[in-house]
């Protein structure tokens, strides 16, 4: 059956580069949300813990519970728990959230510095902290998210200025309310590599750890390596004669005799139909015709075919981004670790 291979050495290479920028592995908070960007939550968590990463970021409590044994601190981005977990901090995304958190819950306040999706405004920060404390919540940190750190524009600079104001205000609020100095973090992968000197409590690193960070050419280009590779196994081989077509709609027509094979991977497994007839594997095998639900045809005959080992390259053929390719890989697919 088709399966995903995870390259441990590539992952550790990426973490080495990230740790050099954060100044310490202790400041890496690995983003493991959405099945670790499709790589597999448990295998990536285990490898991260093996490397020494002790902080993680996930989407919900279910993910947090599954990886709790590997980490000392977990940040949940998008769920309000019924019963909070001991190691977990939960995100306050709006003022309306406050009344829904159980008393005693550890929280971090997300601040909107320009992304304008969710988060508290700087002007409302003190009021939100006051309400959080009245609700019996433990406010432990403040963070934000960059919208354009991978693009050379002024937005990177004014969001940094906005968050600097947030830090100053939050420190003053903490002092007046008498609670410990809070955690601060703003860097996603792109923002981390834009920073000349990293001076925050942690960096929330996702796409860089998985080796598929893309930055404008004028920006830093770290030597990251993709962790994920997709392999498929052959179902059948035949020779198309000149003029014969293959697959639904017959959108590929052989110009001359060509040996083709059908492999056991399709859009039900996460292949993107928009890559039909437009992609060539790392080994030079052209994808012929339409991707089907459960299989795809390539100009190849090997028993095991490397479909892609760089999600960004495959994504370009499909007209999307590497993130969508990776998170689209179905959880039921077997993950194996390459040392």
Catalytic-labelled residue, pool 33, 90, 110, 267? 33
Residue recorded with tokens 């996702």:
206
DSSP calls for 238-251: EEEPTT-EESGGG-
| Structure tokens that stand for 283 in this block | 């080994």
DSSP single-letter state for residue 217: T
SS3 160: helix
Report the distance separating Cα 198 and Cα 20, nearest Å. Answer: 10
Cα(64)–Cα(62) distance, integer angstroms? 5
Residues ≥6 apart with Cβ < 8 Å to 88: 61, 64, 68, 74, 75, 76, 81, 106
Active-site choice (73, 195, 231, 248): 248
* For the chain, counts of helices (H) and of strands (E): 9, 17
Token pair in block for residue 17: 């580069």
Rounded Cα distance, 104 and 82, in Å:
12
Beta bridge partners of 288: 297
For this structure, is 248 an active site residue? Answer: yes
- The upper half-sphere exposure of residue 25, i.e. CA atoms within 13 Å in the direction of its Cβ, equals 13
DSSP bridge partners of 237: 261
Cβ atoms of residues 144 and 159 within 8 Å: yes
Indicate the SS3 state at residue 262: strand
The helix-helix angle for 125-134 and 155-177 (nearest 10°) equals: 40
* Element housing 139 (H / E): strand 138-143
Active site residue 231: no
Catalytic (active-site) positions: 33, 248
């Amino acid at each position: 059956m088709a399966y995903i291979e995870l390259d441990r050495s590539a992952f550790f290479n990426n973490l080495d580069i990230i740790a050099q920028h954060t100044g310490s592995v202790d400041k890496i908070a690995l983003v493991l949300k959405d099945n670790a960007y499709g790589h597999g939550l448990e295998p990536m968590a285990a490898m991260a813990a093996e490397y020494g990463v002790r902080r993680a970021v996930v989407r919900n409590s279910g993910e947090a519970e599954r990886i709790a044994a590997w980490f000392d601190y977990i940040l949940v981005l998008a769920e309000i728990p019924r019963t909070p977990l001991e190691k977990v901090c939960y995100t306050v995304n709006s003022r309306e959230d406050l009344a829904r958190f159980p008393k005693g819950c550890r929280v971090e306040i997300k601040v909107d510095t320009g992304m304008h999706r969710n988060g508290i405004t700087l002007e409302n920060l003190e009021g939100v902290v006051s309400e959080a404390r009245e609700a019996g919540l433990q406010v432990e940190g403040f963070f934000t998210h960059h919208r354009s750190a991978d693009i050379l524009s002024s937005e990177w600079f004014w969001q940094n200025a906005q968050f600097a104001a947030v830090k100053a205000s939050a420190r003053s609020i903490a002092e007046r309310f008498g609670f410990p100095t809070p955690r601060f973090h703003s860097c996603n992968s792109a923002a981390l590599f834009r920073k000349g000197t990293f001076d925050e409590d942690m960096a929330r690193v996702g796409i860089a750890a998985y080796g598929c960070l893309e930055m404008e050419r004028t920006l830093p280009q770290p030597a990251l390596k993709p962790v994920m590779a997709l392999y498929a196994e052959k179902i059948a081989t035949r020779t198309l004669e000149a003029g014969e077509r293959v697959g639904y709609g017959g959108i590929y027509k052989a110009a001359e005799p060509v040996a083709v094979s059908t492999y056991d991977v399709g859009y039900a497994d996460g292949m993107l139909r928009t890559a039909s007839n437009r992609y060539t594997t790392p080994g030079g095998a052209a994808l012929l015709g339409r991707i089907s639900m459960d299989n795809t045809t390539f100009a190849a005959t090997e028993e095991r075919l490397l479909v892609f080992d760089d999600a960004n390259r495959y994504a370009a053929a499909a007209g999307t981004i590497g993130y969508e390719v990776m998170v689209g890989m179905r959880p039921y697919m077997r993950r194996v670790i390459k040392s």
